[in-house]
Structure 1
């Protein structure tokens, strides 16, 4: 369903399990950024009413995820640290096409967000399948389902505002680009992406 062209390196989960505190802190910031990204789309493209209506509850859901991750951090006696530069997202942002119509600009941002949600969904599935902590396994299972829904929202919105064939073509380009990003990112246990 996600169509990611390169699965996460299997070694990532082993490294992540050894630095669970770091993963949870990075995950909390990812959820905060996801909420902020949706807010940014709403502010930047307010004339796209259906998009606004779809994303308003996503903002609330992403913020609820942030609160849930914070609860997991506190429950385990971990410390909430400073945000980290998300090299994965920075590289994706560099692939966003500039210019074109407002609809084309919106499509670019929707596809970038869809890709981030897809990769997060994949990572959550890996954590769900591989963590020993039963509570965290269930936690990541629920988040995996939610992220899959957000991914679908972004793709459907893009296709509702732009030619579906054009969206599919550009989505294929995004997927190919993301594969290249993943091939060159270091495997780090302190990063969700």
Structure 2
């Protein structure tokens, strides 16, 4: 996988770049950044495991989500290790509106396939935004953290591709319009003000 090509693809897939004001806030709140990053890795592993339990008949999904869950838990361990090195204590944080707001867009009922397709597209969006933010942050961070964030780009890029590929594979018709609808919802969350800083939060409210 050509990493630069994947980053270019992700930047085209996302409808907006991370605002500079968010990057500035992240550099001021690196402890919160790390704590919420750890939380995001746990939640990503949980999402993959939930899909594993719910879709036992989809072999490709089982294989990809099993691998994804393992990688996300490894990333969680790595973030916690960096936090320990820096004296950052792991604690509970309120969740950002980002993932929950996206999941409110998921279609329920019907034959069940619409719900799965939406969950997979949203998974692709979350992984794509994570990858984009790691790339945005790494030039501004100390050498240790920058190296770690750069090391995550390849796996996060693959997770984005896996989610989007599965969504297209399991769809019975073209889903381009649905992808565009969810991309627009994701863009709005990134560009509108957030009162609390989190890894996936929007523009800081004071900006």
TM range (shorter): over 0.9
Q: Tell me, yes or no, if structure 1 residue 137 matches structure 2 residue 128.
A: no
Q: Determine the structure 1 residue equivalent to 2:44.
A: 34
State the distance in 2 between where 1:152 and 1:187 align.
31
Q: Determine the structure 2 residue equivalent to 1:17.
A: 27
From 99, 113, 119, give the equivalent of 1:103: 113
Deviations, residues 23-77 of structure 1 (Å, cap 9, x unaligned): 0000000000000000011112222121011110110000000000000100111
How far has the Cα of 1:187 moved from its partner? 6.9
Q: Determine the structure 1 residue equivalent to 2:130.
A: 120
Number of matched pairs = 190
Deviations, residues 86-121 of structure 1 (Å, cap 9, x unaligned): 211111011111122232221111011111111111
Q: Determine the structure 2 residue equivalent to 1:146.
A: 155
Greater relative contact order: 1 or 2 (C-alpha under 8 angstroms, separation 6 or more)? 1
Q: Is the 8 A contact 1:26 1:191 kept in 2?
A: yes
From 81, 84, 88, give the equivalent of 1:74: 84
Aligned-residue CA RMSD in angstroms? 1.4
How far has the Cα of 1:167 moved from its partner? 2.2
Q: Tell me, yes or no, if structure 1 residue 158 matches structure 2 residue 177.
A: no
Question: What TM-score does the superposition give when structure 2 sets the normalisation length?
Answer: 0.87
Q: Is the 8 A contact 1:88 1:185 kept in 2?
A: no
Runs of 4+ in 1 over 3 A off after TM superposition: none
Q: Is the 8 A contact 2:48 2:68 kept in 1?
A: yes
State the distance in 1 between where 2:189 and 2:26 align.
19
